[in-house]
Amino acid sequence: ETGVTQTPRHLVMGMTNKKSLKCEQHLGHNAMYWYKQSAKKPLELMFVYNFKEQTENNSVPSRFSPECPNSSHLFLHLHTLQPEDSALYLCASSPKRGQGPGYTFGSGTRLTVV
């Protein structure tokens, strides 16, 4: 366990369902990230939150809706997804500027859209 916990580990959902992915860290980090990992593609940054404020949305479709209620928790709300959204969704956190670079990742949620 690295300090970043993601739940659920696996998720199968229909295209009309609504579900949420959860990420939690207790490392005292201030920035949190959602990445999408698809086969044979580089990890794609989706969203960045810094001190609970969204600082980047990498042209992600609106069927993905992030929420960051505090610096320790990050959610990704999913609705009306498409089969091509099936992927591994990784959450990461990083310390504030000046405390050294580097992310800590969770183990990901394997999402299958049917």
Partner 1 sequence: AQTVTQSQPEMSVQEAETVTLSCTYDTSESNYYLFWYKQPPSRQMILVIRQEAYKQQNATENRFSVNFQKAAKSFSLKISDSQLGDTAMYFCAFMKSQGGSEKLVFGKGTKLTVNP
Residues near partner 1 (CB under 8 A) = 2, 30-31, 33, 40-43, 45, 48-50, 55-56, 88, 90, 92, 94-103, 105-108, 110
Q: Which residues fall within 8 angstroms of residue 25, CB to CB, at 6 or more apart? A: 3, 4, 5, 32, 72, 93, 104
Pick 2 or 7: Cβ nearer partner 1:
2
Q: How far is the CB of 33 from partner 1 (least distance, A)?
A: 7
User: Positive or negative, the Cα torsion across 6, 69, 96, 64?
Assistant: positive
Pick 18 or 51: Cβ nearer partner 1:
51
Residue that has been written with the tokens 């099936």 in this structure: 86
Q: How far is the CB of 103 from partner 1 (least distance, A)?
A: 6
Residue that has been written with the tokens 């949620």 in this structure: 109
Pick 94 or 113: Cβ nearer partner 1:
94
Pick 18 or 73: Cβ nearer partner 1:
73
What values do phi and psi take at 84, rounded to 5? -70, -5
